Amino acid sequence: MEKPFAITLDVASSLANRTGNWRTERAEYIERLPPCSHACPASEDIQGWLYEAESGGDGYERAWRRIMETNPFPAVMGRVCYHPCETSCNRESLDEAVGINSVERFLGDEAIERGWTVEPEAEPTGRRVLVIGAGPSGLSAAYHLRRLGHEVTVHEAGSAAGGMMRYGIPTYRLPREVLGAEIDRILAMGVELELDRRSTNALQSMQEGSFDAVFLAVGAHIAKRAYVPAGEAARVLDAVSVLHDVEDAEPPQLGRRVVVYGGGDTAMDVARTAKRLGATDAVVVYRRTRDRMPAHEIEIEEAEEEGVKMRWLSTVKRADEGRLMLERMELDAEGFPQPTGELEELEADSLVLALGQEADLALLEGVPEIEIEDGVVSVGPDMMTGRAGVFAGGDMVPAERTVTVAIGHGRRAAQNIDRWLRGAPYEPAREAKLADFESLNTWYYADAPRTERPRLEVARRRATFEEVVGGLDQSNALYEARRCLSCGNCFGCDNCFGLCPDNAVIKLEGVENGYEIDYDYCKGCGICVAECPCGAIEMVPEEI
């Protein structure tokens, strides 16, 4: 081509100029671990299911299915979980944590109402697994094992499934039809449940049914006793049996003035139950101060709202008919309560001891490989006991005793039982980079205060076992889901695509496919990284 004077190049687009070679650092898309998922004892992909729920409509079912990949009890969890996810939520630093628990409950309730079910995905393996105990941990394991294609039989000592979800958590926190619906859904997948079958010897139960592996999840149902000198006519009960009898038998006669000894969630549950059974006074006696109470704050708050009285720094010295002798305590320099010798009387028709529970490990007697320490069974990170093929989880192993932890154990055990049955080695989960608050650019999030769930008025809470906390509806559940900052995971806001001065970000077809960096032109300025609201892009040094 004939070129004008002094011109040596063809007229052309600057596209020929690959400015990507200026780069010393490159932008790369990453997925960070959001703090909610990181904190979830049941390993739920919380950001993942909120992302689906953000679409509303069909998104709710997708969101629910994402939860069901880890946790078969969304409706239960949305009521009883103490939600460490919300405690660690990055939005807390912005305004208030996302109401994850309330959205989970909404999804769980939607599923029950619409009859969504889960089918076993894997081909039948022909392997048989025994689960002993139909509590949250056992049922969670059964569910996951069934999904993995194994045949599962659950032996339950009681006359109904649910474990502590049924016998430990009062109905005002967890209506039984909700619990029943979620258990039935697991059973409908083909899990065999045998009630009233107490196993006295785990190995024998395993051999009798020629099972390939066993998961022990018997819980901790024996009340710890403390020696309280008591007169003949004194009425002293334990919290476990009180809650059990309320569920299964005649509610126990507690009288008008009920004293509960202990400071955990169970103590609160019993005191609140006593109120509902007609007690005029329900007093919790605890050795230390409020801030040292093991009960969760929300339980203490709700108990106080319902008129439960607290006596901090006190122990029960003696119980007699109609009255108790209390001793005032003092915290020493280490924070331990020490007796002061100061005594006082408290009128009480009954004393309920809520001093913790122990596991009944009789079924493990005579299995030498299994190590028992402090009344609980030692397990490895794969939930296997010292004996090959025998796994354990829930309240009978060392861990925090909550339903959520138990459900997490069940899943982890199921995965490892499956792995063990296949003869594969244990591999610890790889931890992704945490999406901390500093990795976010919160400018882009709209101001949106949290939606609080309605609560039953206090007058009705004192008299009935109706559920205290209400649920969200379609519109505020959607709003709450959309408060999620999507920490560490792209949510398709187009910022990187729009803010690149070099048009070096390609928006791919289909939002689920996200974006791609065009390294021919990416100069490595880092604007996309700085302006990504959720920290899903990072700068990586180029090898030079």
Integer Cα distance of 84 and 533 in angstroms: 23
Query: How many angstroms separate the CA atoms of 322 and 256, rounded?
Result: 10
Closest distance of CB 77 from another protein, Å? 23
Tell me the C-alpha to C-alpha distance, in Å, between residue 222 and each of 249, 385, 435: 18, 22, 41
**Would you count residue 31 as binding another protein (CB under 8 A)?**
no
Residue labelled with tokens 């039989």: 153
Among 61, 360, 531, 538, binds another protein (CB under 8 A): 531
Stretch that binds another protein, among 6-14, 193-201, 246-254, 388-396 (CB under 8 A): 6-14
Please report whether residue 503 would count as binding another protein according to CB under 8 A.
yes
Alpha helical stretches, state H, 449-535: 458-463, 474-481, 495-499, 527-531
Task: Give the integer Cα–Cα distance in Å for 441 and 292.
Answer: 37
535 binding another protein? (CB under 8 A): no
Strand partners, 40: none
CA distance 256 to 435: 52
Stretch that binds another protein, among 142-150, 189-197, 261-269, 482-490 (CB under 8 A): 482-490
502 lies in the site for another protein, by CB under 8 A: yes
Site of tokens 């319902």: 306
State which of residues 498, 516, 540, 542 lies at the interface with another protein (CB under 8 A): 498
Considering the complex, state which of residue 91 and residue 409 has its C-beta at the smaller distance from another protein. Answer: 91
Of 136 and 533, nearer to another protein (C-beta) is: 533
Pick from 17, 87, 338, 340 the residue near another protein by CB under 8 A.
17
Which are the contacts of 168, defined by CB distance < 8 A and separation ≥ 6?
A: 240, 243, 266, 269
In three-state form (DSSP H/G/I as H, E/B as E, the rest C), the secondary structure along 496-516 is HHHHCCCCCEEECCCHHHCEE
Q: C-beta of 524: minimal distance to another protein in Å?
A: 6
Task: State yes or no: residue 533 binds another protein (CB under 8 A).
Answer: yes
Q: Is 544 in the site for another protein (CB under 8 A)?
A: no
Question: Binding marks (x or -) toward another protein, 441..480, rule CB under 8 A?
Answer: --xxxx-x--------------------------x--xx-
485 binds another protein (CB under 8 A): yes
Q: Is 198 exposed, middle or buried (0-12, 13-18, 19+ CB in 10 A)?
A: middle
Site residues (CB under 8 A) for another protein, limited to 54-73: 54-55
d(CA 212, CA 215): 11
Q: Which of 379, 482, 488, 535 binds another protein (CB under 8 A)?
A: 482
Which residue of 175, 176, 499, 538 would you call a contact of another protein, by CB under 8 A? 499
C-beta of 530: minimal distance to another protein in Å? 4
165 versus 522: smaller Cβ distance to another protein: 522
- What CA–CA distance (Å, rounded) separates 273 from 282? 9
Q: Which C-beta is closer to another protein: that of 372 or that of 527?
A: 527
Comparing CB distances to another protein, the nearer of 464 and 475 is 475
| Rounded Cα–Cα distance for residues 339 and 358 (Å) | 26
Which lies closer to another protein via its Cβ, residue 305 or residue 502?
502
CA distances from 243 to 166, 246, 284, 495 (A): 9, 5, 16, 54
Residues near another protein (CB under 8 A) are: 7, 9-19, 22, 54-55, 443-446, 448, 475, 478-479, 482-486, 491-495, 497-499, 501-504, 507, 511, 518, 520-521, 523-527, 529-531, 533, 539
